[in-house]
Amino acid sequence: MADSFAGSPALQAHLESLLPEDTRPQLRTSVIPSLLSAIADVSHTLRISQHVALAGSSNEFGDDQLNVDVSAEKHIRSALAGCAAVATASSEEDPVERSVGAARGRENGVGGERYTVAFDPLDGSSIIGPNWTVGTIVGVWDGETALGQSPREKQIAAILGVFGPRTTAVVAIRIPGSEPSCFELGLGGAGDGGTPPTWQLIRPNVQLARAPYKTRYFSPANLRSASEDPRYMSLVTERISKRYTLRYSGGLVPDVVHALCKGHGLYVSPVTAGSGAKLRKLYELLPVALIVECAGGKAVDSMDGRIILGEAPLGSTDERGGLVCGNEDEVEEAVSALLG
Amino acid sequence: MADSFAGSPALQAHLESLLPEDTRPQLRTSVIPSLLSAIADVSHTLRISQHVALAGSSNEFGDDQLNVDVSAEKHIRSALAGCAAVATASSEEDPVERSVGAARGRENGVGGERYTVAFDPLDGSSIIGPNWTVGTIVGVWDGETALGQSPREKQIAAILGVFGPRTTAVVAIRIPGSEPSCFELGLGGAGDGGTPPTWQLIRPNVQLARAPYKTRYFSPANLRSASEDPRYMSLVTERISKRYTLRYSGGLVPDVVHALCKGHGLYVSPVTAGSGAKLRKLYELLPVALIVECAGGKAVDSMDGRIILGEAPLGSTDERGGLVCGNEDEVEEAVSALLG
């Protein structure tokens, strides 16, 4: 796949600096490039899908599936099928780890590299109709399964694809023993004189800032649950009184990416008796937590205040939780208010 | 311009049904098509503008201008320059009504048609960086100025261009004596085998629903001001208690279009002593109000509770106000809570 990777020279050099020649060449030249190509394909499908209708099917979790969900799933599965080092994959739409075509029969992977990919092909279905920004979430795990593994040790990369006026992506890589990194890409060149879309390196170092902050943003998810949780209601009214700026799209990817781009943000998705835990750990919480940590922030489960990446190995693909993430001090203060 | 209008046959037929042959042919075949073409151009510029930097200039109102703002302004001005029936234009970036190239020397317009166009080329600058959906706002006025005219009689069309994963637009037309109409378009065909982008008719009849509502949405703008306005704070907490779903992007176009696409929404931008009136009547409030009214909703100035389109003629291009808009009963209830 290396030859067909449409990444700018600066992006290729950046990936080589993070993953030098002898370090995981399949991850650098095949897995990440293939996922980025698939994200470009999803963006193209969304762009031309003017009639966003229900596909008439529902996924394993009972959600309505939109036809663009189905296309996004196919684009990513098809990209992974060409990656010899990807052993298994599963998604929010088909949450069973299955072996991937190219890996079958290669029990030792390629040069010792074997990966598992877990993805949510299109997060934010409810805001596709009004044409708001939506995203794709991907986690890459070392080995042939994400189940029973230490999330902090084994989930080594994550990508958020962002489909808005532009197509962008935030990538995090954290190989045990190496420096973590979080960077932003933008898809350029599409449709200009026939040049193929190319991923450009926009910001080599995405970082959540440290206090004092110029502007403070907050994103209160599942706000209806504040009606039954006085601590959440008071967290919200206190942020209003402290003159935080509200930004809440209802899409996990755009809401988290807003904080990453502004350098500040507090995202809160509480779990209450009435509303229950909604966010899937494998497809949503763990990849987002890796991105946030690699940007210097903190991601905690709002159910119990535990660091998401420090939680016990997953027992199933359907485990769920809540989320408080963003700048470290903001997250700590919010968790105290919710659970303290 | 009629020949070069890239609108699908269904869209052309829809425009002809609203504006029959002898009714304002320049509006139908030149002004609206040119504005839609310009919106397609803005969308292309945004798509390829990966480095969204400050342009280094500021507009007349003192806002920082982004380079994409400057491009959007140019695309729309350039499209209007080709419309013989457009007499004058002004924008939020250059808020002085100036005569438009093609109209100079044609004091009687074309076949008696003379229009003034007022536009905000790119609304939502603060959310361009994180790649959230943004928009363009356009109002079309009968005659050679928008100043000193009855908004309800003279502002006869409005367009919201929506730049998200897709490019869409909501158009409202209300010619005195004719039925008002609000419809949604989507830009298709871009980049597919070299076919030029074509506007498709997606929904011929955009309507805000009537109670009872399946899901209720609310968008509290300028939420920081609730810290100094107990009535606004209580309006917000009451909507939370009534389990409204929060959707607030901070972009006026996506926030209003969300309500139009879902059939329900309450957008509230109050004016308080501390924060002042922010929304410009000519470039934001009046076009949005026409769209909302043509969809069967209500748009009121939160400063005084008056119907926006019923207000006195504009004395200047810089007049400002607040906004409460959405479904009629929701707006009335919110205005009572804020001002009652």
Q: What digits encode the pLDDT tens for the residues A269-322?
A: 999 888 889 999 999 999 999 999 999 999 999 999 999 999 999 999 999 999
A94 beta partners: A91
B232 and B179 belong to one structural domain: no
CB contact under 8 A, A190 and B51: no
Lowest mean pLDDT among A18-32, A57-71, A81-95, A261-275: A57-71
Helices (H), B131-251: 151-154, 230-241
Backbone angles phi, psi at A182, to 5 degrees: -135, 125
pLDDT of the residue at B292: 98
What is the Cα–Cα distance from A228 to A220, expressed in whole angstroms? 15
* Average pLDDT of the residues in A249-268: 98
A131 to B254: CB separation less than 8 angstroms, yes or no = yes
Q: Do A240 and B233 touch (CB under 8 A)?
A: yes
- Nearest Cα of chain B lies from the Cα of A120 at a distance, in angstroms, of 17
Residue B128 domain flag: yes
What does the angle CA B162 – CA B166 – CA B172 come to, to the nearest 5 degrees? Answer: 35
Q: Distance between CA atoms of B221 and B270, rounded to whole angstroms?
A: 7
Residue A67 pLDDT grade (very low, low, confident, very high; cuts 50, 70, 90): confident
> Are B18 and B94 members of one domain?
yes
Helical segments of chain A, H only: 9-18, 25-26, 32-48, 67-81, 151-154, 230-241, 252-262, 286-294, 328-339
Per the CB < 8 A criterion, the answer to whether B319 and B118 are in contact is no
Cα gap A263→B251, rounded to integer Å: 19
**Per-residue pLDDT, A61:** 58
pLDDT per 10-residue tile (average), chain B, 340 residues: 68 93 90 96 90 60 71 96 95 95 59 94 95 98 97 98 97 94 88 71 95 96 95 97 97 98 97 90 98 98 96 96 98 96
The predicted-structure confidence for A188-225, as pLDDT tens digits, reads as follows 864 455 567 899 999 999 999 999 999 999 999 999 99
Tokens of A154: 């084994």
- A188, B163: Cβ pair inside 8 Å? no
pLDDT at B3: 42
Q: What is the C-alpha to C-alpha distance for residues A182 and A171, in angstroms, rounded to an integer? A: 6
Q: Are residues A130 and A268 in the same domain?
A: no
Contact of A251 with A135, CB cutoff 8 Å: yes
What is the C-alpha to C-alpha distance for residues B286 and B321, in angstroms, rounded to an integer? 10
Whether the Cβ atoms of residue B159 and residue B174 lie closer than 8 Å to each other: no
CA distances for A180 relative to A158, A175, A320, B49, angstroms: 12, 7, 26, 28
Question: Which residues of A fall within a CB distance of 8 Å from B219?
Answer: none
Is A209 a domain residue? no
Q: Which helix (H) or strand (E) holds B43?
A: helix B32-48
What CATH number does the domain containing A121 carry? 3.30.540.10
- Give A254's contacts in chain B (Cβ within 8 Å): 130-132
Nearest residue of B to residue A258 by CA position? B130
Q: Which amino acid is at B188?
A: G
User: Can you tell me whether residue B323 is helix, strand or coil?
Assistant: strand
Beta-carbon separation of B131 and A191 below 8 A:
no
Classify burial at B37, counting beta carbons within 10 Å of its beta carbon; exposed 0-12, middle 13-18, buried 19 or more.
Answer: buried
Task: Compute the C-alpha angle A32/A164/B76, nearest 5°.
Answer: 135
Residues 6+ apart with CB under 8 A from A125: A63, A64, A66, A69, A134
Three-state DSSP class for residue A229:
coil
A333 and A221 fall within a common domain:
yes
Residue A212 falls within a domain, yes or no? Answer: no
| A21 and A71 part of one domain | yes
- In the block, tokens 């990440």 appear at A32
Residues of A in contact with B165 (CB under 8 A): 43, 46-47, 128, 131-134, 163-164
**Going by C-beta distance under 8 Å and a sequence separation of 6 or more, which residues neighbour residue B338?**
B231, B232, B235, B268, B270, B302, B324
Same domain, A54 and A14: yes
Q: What are phi and psi of B34, to 5 degrees?
A: -65, -40
- Could you tell me the CATH number of the domain that includes residue B298? 3.40.190.80
pLDDT for the residue B155:
98
Give tens-digit pLDDT for A151-164.
999 999 999 999 99
A55 and A196 share one domain = yes
Are residues A199 and A237 both part of a single domain? Answer: no
Per-residue pLDDT at A55 exceeds 60: no
What mean pLDDT is reported for chain A? 91
Same domain, B55 and B167: yes
Which of B44, B49, B254 lies nearest to residue A130, judging by beta carbons?
A: B254
Q: CA of B247, closest CA in chain A: separation in Å?
A: 5
Average pLDDT over residues A36-65: 76
Single residue among B203, B237, B262 that ends a domain in this structure: B203
Do residues B234 and B330 both lie within one domain? Answer: yes
CA of A225: which chain B residue's CA is closest?
B243
Q: What is the pLDDT of residue B63?
A: 56
Q: What angle do CA B51, B53, B58 make, to 5 degrees?
A: 155
**Do A193 and A326 have their domain in common?**
no
Q: Are A131 and B164 in contact (CB under 8 A)?
A: yes
Smallest CA–CA distance, residue B136 to chain A, in Å, is 12
Instruction: Say if residue B175 is in the same domain as residue B267.
Output: no
Residue A325 lies in a domain: yes
Q: At residue A54, does pLDDT exceed 60?
A: no
Express each pLDDT in A114-147 by its tens digit.
Answer: 999 999 999 998 999 999 999 999 999 999 999 9
Residue B76 main-chain phi, psi, to 5 deg: -75, -45
Say if the Cβ atoms of A133 and B236 lie within 8 Å.
no
Q: Is residue B24 part of a domain?
A: yes
Residues B133 and A249: their CA atoms lie apart, in Å, by 10
Q: Is residue B210 part of a domain?
A: no
CA B288, B217, A270: angle at the middle one, nearest 5?
A: 135
The residue ranking higher by pLDDT, B256 or A112, is: B256
B8 within a domain of the structure (yes/no) = yes
Q: Which of B149, B177, B203 is the last residue of a domain?
A: B203
All residues of chain A having their beta carbon less than 8 Å from the beta carbon of residue B125 are none
Closest CA to B79 of B33, B113, B10: B33
Q: Which of A47, A127, A164, A52 is nearest to B133 (CA)?
A: A164
Give one DSSP letter per residue of A298-315, joined into a string: EEE-TTT--BGGGSPPBS
Give the three-state DSSP class for A332: helix
If we measure between CA atoms, which residue out of A177, A198, A217 comes closest to residue A33?
A: A198
Tokens of residue B275, six digits: 């924060």
What residues of chain A lie within 8 A of the CB of B251, using their CB?
none
Query: How far is it, in rounded angstroms, from Cα B324 to Cα B332?
Result: 9
Q: Please say whether the beta carbons of A314 and A281 come within 8 A.
A: yes
Cα-Cα-Cα-Cα torsion A300, A215, A160, A226, nearest 10 degrees, comes to: 50
Count how many domains chain A has. 2
| Contact yes or no for B189/B166 (Cβ under 8 A) | no
Cα–Cα distance for residue pair A331/A318, rounded to 1 Å: 25
- pLDDT for B194 equals 59
* Domain assignment of residue A47, yes or no: yes
> Distance between CA A289 and CA A250 in Å, rounded?
18
Query: What pLDDT is stored for residue B275 in this prediction?
Result: 83
Residue A168, pLDDT above cutoff 60: yes
Domain of residue B236: give its range: 217-339
- The span from the CA of B115 to the CA of B80, in Å, is 10
Q: What residues of chain B lie within 8 A of the CB of A203, using their CB?
A: none
Higher pLDDT, B314 or A109: B314
A276: helix, strand or coil? coil
3-class DSSP state of B30 = helix
Cα B118 to Cα A333: distance, rounded to the nearest angstrom: 46
Q: Of B203, B226, B241, which one is at a domain's C-terminal end?
A: B203
